[in-house]
């Protein structure tokens, strides 16, 4: 899941595929690793009146990383596809 305004996506530190550039391989690897990142985002997402989809996606991704639910999820951007983004930067 990405957000149009922020340009962030959620991935894992051990998935070598860039979800921005190679979605099919990224998604397959994510499922093969047993993470189901898209499912996790869907389960944690909510629809609230007055909050747009981008704001919701950003909040959910930041919550996953900040609380270290899996221990492997990170937020990345297309330009900085590295695990350098830490929860303190959100």
Q: CA geometry: angle at 1 spanning 10 and 4, to 5°?
A: 105
Q: What is the mean pLDDT of residues 51-73?
A: 83
Long-range contacts for 30-35 (Cβ within 8 Å, ≥24 apart)? 35/70, 35/72, 35/73
pLDDT in tens, 7-61: 889 999 899 888 998 999 999 999 999 999 999 988 887 766 666 777 778 888 8
How many Å apart are CA 74 and CA 33, to the nearest integer?
Answer: 15
The reported pTM is: 0.74
Domain residue ranges in the chain: 8-89
- Which 3 state secondary structure label does DSSP give 24? helix
């Amino acid at each position: 899941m990405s957000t149009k305004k922020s340009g962030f996506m959620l991935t894992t530190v051990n998935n070598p595929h860039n979800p921005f550039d190679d979605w099919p391989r990224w998604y397959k690897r994510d499922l093969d690793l047993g993470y189901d990142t898209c499912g996790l985002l869907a389960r944690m997402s909510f629809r609230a009146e007055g909050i747009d989809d981008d704001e919701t996606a950003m909040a959910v991704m930041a919550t996953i990383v900040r609380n270290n639910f899996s221990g492997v999820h990170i937020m990345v951007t297309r330009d900085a596809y590295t695990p350098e983004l830490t929860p303190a930067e959100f």
